[in-house]
Structure 1
Amino acid sequence: MRVLAKIATAAAIAVPMLVAIPGAANAAASPSGCSSVTQIGSTAYLNVGGQTMASVKQYKGCGKNYSYLYVWEGYRNTHSSWDVCTAIVTNGGHDVQDPRCGHNSVELWSFGAATLAECTQGLGWTGYGPIPYPSDGDIAVKTDVRC
């Protein structure tokens, strides 16, 4: 009985500690309208002012490509407001496919792009607009190219 009490006490202490440890971002199960997606390529990290703001990933599923952006808790805890966008890009990152933007969004899926036959990248950026403009202070990051 005493051993069980010690195990229960240790577990009660350990669980909050595990929850507080920052780690890799996990995507929501799937984008709207598609029940199953698979990550393709690497994860890219959007860094703003020396801090990791968000993770950007590319997924495929339901005959389309999707970009997914997750704003890290550490960034959310130190900022009261942010704007982010995500999209699939083609043509070496020059053509943006139907971006989706959000204000204070934690998770953001792009619209599905019918680009499985093309080389694509997931794109995420700060700001609120159809394409990132470095001259406006937008900071952007792309995943690796997947063909």
Structure 2
Amino acid sequence: MLKKIGATVLAAAAIAVTFTGTAQAEYNPKCPSGVTQIGSTKILKWRTETVASVKQFKGCNKNWAYVWVWDTWLAKHKEPFEISAGVSTRISESSVDYVKTWNKQELWSSGADTLKECTRAGGGVWNSTFSAGDWTDERC
């Protein structure tokens, strides 16, 4: 009986850590009042492996792109990688607030003053041996 209870407690703890990690990962330090996801999440893959996810948020009178590199990818791939995020408008067709950095698990774009425009978030993770990037659906 104690083994069964112990296994249940461990499973519940693992689930709590998983959900806590996800919520924390979506805290935008550039917008302390909070952000809300708009549109769907785009999953980035390289071959059959899930690399990262891209989301678009609104908050602080701006649109934000957010990229999260998955723990399972990081555990298997120790080589340096570049990560990028940006918001694109229908008019510009390129990122209006593109940012990039190296070897980070998450990245927020700089924030785009585009709430009155049709936008989508883009992001990517790559180096010389792999590349994964894409856009979320457009939100107007």
TM-score (norm 2): 0.80
Give 1:34 deviation, angstroms. 4.0
Quote how far apart the aligned CAs of 1:55 are. Answer: 0.5
Q: Secondary structure at the match of 2:98?
A: strand
CA RMSD of aligned residues (A): 3.1
DSSP 3-state at the match of 1:76:
helix
Partner residue of 1:126?
A: 125
> How do residues 1-147 of structure 1 correspond to structure 2 at under 5 angstroms?
9-15=6-12, 17-18=14-15, 25-26=22-23, 27-80=25-78, 81-91=80-90, 94-127=93-126, 138-147=131-140
1:9 maps to a residue whose letter is G
> What secondary structure, in the 3-state scheme, does the structure 1 residue paired with 2:6 have?
helix
Q: CA deviation at 1:48?
A: 1.3
Q: CA offsets per residue over residues 84-127 of structure 1, 9 Å max, x none?
A: 10000112772211211121111110011000111000101134
Question: Conserved in 2, the CA contact under 8 Å of 1:25 and 1:70?
Answer: no
Distance verdict in 2 for CA 1:37–1:19, change over 3 Å: closer
How far 1:57 moved relative to its partner? 0.3
What do residues 53-98 of structure 1 show as CA deviations (whole Å, max 9, x unaligned)? 0010000011100000000011000111221100001127722112
Once residues 104 and 96 of structure 1 are traced to their aligned partners in structure 2, the CA distance between those partners, rounded to angstroms, is 21
Change in Cα spacing, 1:11 to 1:61, as seen in structure 2 (3 Å) is same
Contact 1:69/1:107 (CA < 8 Å) preserved in 2?
Answer: yes
TM-score for both structures, normalised by structure 1? 0.77
CA distance 1:48–1:93, change in 2 (3 Å): farther
| Inter-partner Cα distance in structure 1 for 2:15 and 2:92 | 38
Q: Which is higher, the Rg of structure 1 or of structure 2?
A: 1
SS of 1:86's equivalent? Answer: strand
Uncovered stretches (5+) of structure 1, i.e. residues with no partner: 129-136
Q: How many residues get paired?
A: 136
Q: 1:6 to 1:126 in 2, by over 3 A?
A: closer
Contact 1:67–1:123 (CA under 8 A) maintained in structure 2: yes
Moved over 6 A (4+): none
Aligned residues: percent identity?
36
Which deviates more from structure 2 when the two are superposed, residues 88-97 or residues 107-116? Answer: 88-97
